[in-house]
Amino acid sequence: MSKKQHHQEYVKAIQNRKARYEFEILDTIVTGIQLFGSEVKSVRLGQASLSDSFAIIHHNEVWLENMQITPYELNRMEMIEAKRSRKLLLHKKEIQKIQTKINEKGLTLVPLKAFFNDKGLLKIDLAIAKGKKLYDKRETIKKRENQRQMEQIKKQY
């Protein structure tokens, strides 16, 4: 099989669409992530999902939990678990700042998107977020619908 036949379309970014609906974003941090080579290939092909994923701080390290990366089909090495814990790469001072922020009541770490930077490295856009109440979610839906209606009116004129 030549390189041209085996070439597939790469994905620019993987979004966590539920995050902005479920959480109020207070701050964001761009982090690196520690992956195996075959996992990077799967992410490049778009075979990953951030829905229902979250980050925790354990022993002064930040870990991404529940991120789904489908195993790369051409991997000749050992099989890698699809939803294993993955270490996020941050400096100690950054981790300490995050720790003090999330110690406040109700704050959590939620990944917003996974993307490749200019150097080709996979980065995770991590948010310090506060869970929304049901009425906040309804308010978000109302704002979105009002915005759509305004756009439709503008298009008519």
What is the extent of the structural domain holding 102?
3-156
Q: How far apart are CA 115 and CA 157, in angstroms?
A: 38
Distance separating alpha carbons of residues 127 and 23, to the nearest angstrom? 9
Taking Cα atoms as reference points, which of 14, 68, 75 lies closest to residue 41?
75
The pLDDT score that the predictor gives to residue 1 is 43
- Give, in order, the Cα–Cα distances in Å from 70 to each of 12, 48, 79, 115: 17, 6, 10, 16
| Three-state SS at 126 | strand
pLDDT of residue 55: 95
CATH number at residue 28: 2.40.280.10
Q: What is the pLDDT of residue 8?
A: 61
- pTM for the whole thing? 0.77
Residues 19 and 137: their CA atoms lie apart, in Å, by: 11
CA distances for 11 relative to 42, 83, 93, 102, angstroms = 10, 20, 32, 31
pLDDT value of position 2: 43
Query: In total, how many domains does the chain have?
Result: 1
> In a structure prediction context, what are the per-residue pLDDT tens digits for the chain, which is 157 residues long?
444 444 566 777 899 988 888 899 999 999 999 998 888 888 999 999 999 999 999 999 999 999 999 888 887 666 778 888 999 999 999 999 999 889 877 799 999 999 999 998 999 999 999 988 878 888 888 888 999 999 998 888 8
pLDDT for 91 equals 96
